[in-house]
Structure 1
Amino acid sequence: MQQVQTKKQGKRLKNSRYISGFDGIRALAVVGVIIYHLLPYKLQGGYLGVPTFFVVSGYLITDLLLQEWEQNGRIDFWGFYARRLKRLYPALVFMLVGTGTYITLFQRSLLTNLRSIITTNLLYVYNWWEVGHGQSYFDRFNGESPFTHLWSLSIEGQYYLIWPLILTAMVLIIRKRRTIANILLVLAIGSGILMGFLYTGPDTLNRVYYGTDTRMFSIVFGALLAVIWPSTHLKKNITTRSRWALNIVGLVSLAIIAYLYFELSGQNTFTYRGGMFIMAIASTTLIAACAHPGADVNGWLTNPVFRWMGTRSYGIYLYQFPVMIFYEIKVQNIADHPLMNATIEIALIMIISELSYRYIEAPLRHYKYKNLGRSIYEFFQPNSDYGWKRLWLIPAMLLIGISVYGSAISPTKDAKNVLEENISKNEKTANANNKAALAKQKKASKLTANQKRMKKLLKKKLTVKQYKIAKHYGLNKRQYLTVYQQPLTAIGDSILADNSHDLQNVFQNAYVSAAVGRQIWQAGQVLTQMKKKNELAPNILINLGTNSPMTSAQINSVIKSIGPKHQIFWVTTHVPTRNWETEVNHTIRAAAKRHKNMHLIDWHGYSLNRRDWFWNDNVHPNPKGNIYYTHLIATSISDFYSKK
Structure 2
Amino acid sequence: MRVNSAGIAEDVSSDVTLRVYRPNARPIRPCRRDLSTLEGDMSSASTVTSTPATSTAGRFHLPGLDGLRAIAVILVIVYHAAPALAPGGFIGVDMFFVISGFLITTLLLREHAGTGRIRLGRFWLRRARRLLPALVLVVGTATALAPLIHGDLLVGLRTQVLGAATFAYNWVALATGNGYFDTTTPELLRNLWSLSVEEQFYLIWPILLLALLLIRRPWLRVGLLAAGTLAGMGWMWILTAAGANITRIYYGTDSHSFGLLIGATLAAALVAQARQPVRVLERLERPSWQRDLVGIIALSCIAVAVWGLRESGHATFRWGLPVVSILAVVLVWSAISGGIWSRVLDMAPLRYIGARSYGLYLWHWPLLVLLIAAFPDQAPTGAPSPLLALVAIALTMVLAVLSYRFVENPIRKLGFLPYLRALHARIWRFPQPRIVLASLVTVAALAAGVGVSGLVFAPTQGSAQQLIEEGAQSLKTGYPGPIAPKPTLDPEGLADGSEISAIGDSVMLAAAPALQEAFPGIAVDAAVSRNMNAGLDLIQEQAAAGLLRPVVVVGLGTNATISSAQLDRLAGIVGPSRHLVLVNAYAPRPWIAGVNQSLGDYVAGHPRVGLSDWASAIDPQAGELLASDRIHPGSRGGALYAATLHTTLENLAKSDGPPEAPSYRRHEPAHA
Q: Which runs of 5+ in 2 are unaligned?
A: 1-40, 54-58, 272-279, 575-579, 657-672
Q: Are 1:541 and 2:548 matched, yes or no?
A: no
SS of the counterpart of 1:229? helix
CA distance in 2, matches of 1:316, 1:285: 25
Q: CA deviation at 1:220?
A: 0.4
Aligned to 1:467: none
On the 8 A contact 1:221/1:284 being kept in 2, the answer is: yes
On the 8 A contact 1:574/1:603 being kept in 2, the answer is: yes
Gap change, CA 1:382 and 1:152, over 3 Å in 2? closer
Aligned to 1:282: 327
Aligned to 1:2: 42
SS of the counterpart of 1:453? coil
CA distance in 1, matches of 2:594, 2:222: 46
CA distance in 1, matches of 2:309, 2:128: 34
On the 8 A contact 1:573/1:584 being kept in 2, the answer is: no
On the 8 A contact 1:378/1:384 being kept in 2, the answer is: no
Q: CA deviation at 1:93?
A: 0.7
| TM-score normalised to structure 2 length | 0.77
Pairs aligned (count): 584
Q: Are 1:614 and 2:660 matched, yes or no?
A: no
Aligned to 2:460: 414
Aligned to 2:202: 160
The structure 2 residue matched to 1:254, chosen from 299, 314, 337, is 299
The structure 2 residue matched to 1:359, chosen from 382, 406, 413, is 406
Q: CA deviation at 1:252?
A: 2.9
Aligned to 2:534: 526
Gap change, CA 1:202 and 1:560, over 3 Å in 2? farther
On the 8 A contact 1:126/1:150 being kept in 2, the answer is: yes
| TM-score normalised to structure 1 length | 0.80
CA distance in 2, matches of 1:607, 1:120: 37
Q: CA deviation at 1:42?
A: 3.4
Gap change, CA 1:159 and 1:350, over 3 Å in 2? same
Mapping for residues 108-507 of structure 1, pairs under 5 Å: 108-141=151-184, 143-171=185-213, 173-199=214-240, 204-230=245-271, 232=281, 234-237=283-286, 243-293=288-338, 295-335=339-379, 338-369=385-416, 371=418, 390-391=437-438, 393-395=440-442, 397-398=444-445, 401-402=448-449, 405-406=452-453, 409-410=456-457, 414-415=460-461, 420-430=465-475, 432-433=477-478, 435-436=479-480, 439-440=482-483, 443-444=484-485, 453-455=488-490, 478=493, 480-481=494-495, 484=497, 488-493=501-506, 495-504=507-516, 505-506=518-519
| Aligned AA (2:97) | F
CA distance in 1, matches of 2:534, 2:192: 31
CA distance in 2, matches of 1:57, 1:627: 53
| Aligned AA (2:199) | G
Q: Which has the higher helix share?
A: 1
Gap change, CA 1:533 and 1:273, over 3 Å in 2? farther
CA distance in 2, matches of 1:347, 1:184: 41
Q: Select between 244-253 and 84-93 the one with higher mean Cα deviation.
A: 244-253
SS of the counterpart of 1:565? helix
SS of the counterpart of 1:140? coil
Q: Select between 51-60 and 248-257 the one with higher mean Cα deviation.
A: 248-257
Aligned to 1:603: 614
Q: Select between 399-408 and 344-353 the one with higher mean Cα deviation.
A: 399-408
Gap change, CA 1:203 and 1:626, over 3 Å in 2? farther
| Aligned AA (1:124) | F
| Aligned AA (1:25) | L
Identity of aligned residues (%): 23
Deviations 1:297-339 (A, max 9, x none): 3233232332222111111110112111110111121246822
| Aligned AA (1:223) | A
Q: CA deviation at 1:492?
A: 2.2
CA distance in 2, matches of 1:77, 1:389: 40
Deviations 1:452-505 (A, max 9, x none): 6214xx6xxxxxxxxxxxxxxxxxx52x23x65655442223x31121233355
| Aligned AA (2:216) | R
Q: Select between 127-136 and 525-534 the one with higher mean Cα deviation.
A: 525-534
Aligned to 1:627: 639
Q: Are 1:643 and 2:662 matched, yes or no?
A: no
Q: CA deviation at 1:146?
A: 0.9
Q: CA deviation at 1:612?
A: 9.7
| Aligned AA (1:277) | P
CA distance in 2, matches of 1:208, 1:533: 32
Gap change, CA 1:558 and 1:497, over 3 Å in 2? farther
Q: Select between 217-226 and 258-267 the one with higher mean Cα deviation.
A: 258-267
CA distance in 1, matches of 2:520, 2:283: 72
On the 8 A contact 1:379/1:390 being kept in 2, the answer is: no
Larger radius of gyration: 2
Q: CA deviation at 1:253?
A: 1.9
On the 8 A contact 1:131/1:207 being kept in 2, the answer is: yes
Q: Are 1:514 and 2:556 matched, yes or no?
A: no
Aligned to 1:469: none
| Aligned AA (1:630) | A
Gap change, CA 1:184 and 1:436, over 3 Å in 2? farther
Q: Which runs of 5+ in 1 are unaligned?
A: 459-476
SS of the counterpart of 2:572? coil
| Aligned AA (1:212) | T
Q: CA deviation at 1:557?
A: 8.3
On the 8 A contact 2:335/2:342 being kept in 1, the answer is: yes
CA distance in 2, matches of 1:18, 1:333: 47
On the 8 A contact 1:120/1:126 being kept in 2, the answer is: yes
Q: CA deviation at 1:107?
A: 3.7
CA distance in 1, matches of 2:392, 2:120: 39
SS of the counterpart of 2:231? helix
CA distance in 2, matches of 1:382, 1:286: 48
Q: CA deviation at 1:267?
A: 1.6
SS of the counterpart of 1:316? helix
Aligned to 1:465: none
CA distance in 2, matches of 1:125, 1:311: 25
| Aligned AA (1:270) | A
SS of the counterpart of 2:376? coil
On the 8 A contact 2:563/2:598 being kept in 1, the answer is: yes
CA distance in 1, matches of 2:86, 2:543: 37
| Aligned AA (2:210) | T
On the 8 A contact 1:29/1:49 being kept in 2, the answer is: yes
CA distance in 2, matches of 1:612, 1:395: 36
CA distance in 2, matches of 1:612, 1:379: 48
Gap change, CA 1:252 and 1:540, over 3 Å in 2? farther
Q: CA deviation at 1:286?
A: 1.8
Q: CA deviation at 1:389?
A: 5.8
SS of the counterpart of 1:42? coil
Aligned to 1:471: none
On the 8 A contact 1:187/1:220 being kept in 2, the answer is: yes
Gap change, CA 1:246 and 1:335, over 3 Å in 2? same
Structure scoring higher RCO (CA < 8 A, sep ≥ 6) equals: 1
